[in-house]
Amino acid sequence: MALWKCEECGHEKESRCKPKKCPQCSSSKGFVKAEAAGDSCCD
């Protein structure tokens, strides 16, 4: 799992792959990888 951070509002979401849309602000601007926790499924 990796930790993704919304560039718009800073909301953090744990997901295997890059989220398409922020659940908090609904922005599709983009997520940046905040932290990688071991397994890399989609690199």
- The strand pairing partners of 13, in sequence order, are 4
| Binding flag, residue 13, Zn ion (CB under 5 A) | no
Strand (E) positions, the chain? Answer: 2-6, 12-15, 31-36
Instruction: Give the shortest CB-43-to-Zn ion separation in angstroms.
Output: 23
Instruction: Give the shortest CB-22-to-Zn ion separation in angstroms.
Output: 3
| Binding flag, residue 6, Zn ion (CB under 5 A) | yes
Question: Among residues 42, 28, 39, which one has the least CA distance to residue 1?
Answer: 39
| Contact residues for Zn ion, defined by CB under 5 A | 6, 8-9, 11, 22, 24-25, 27
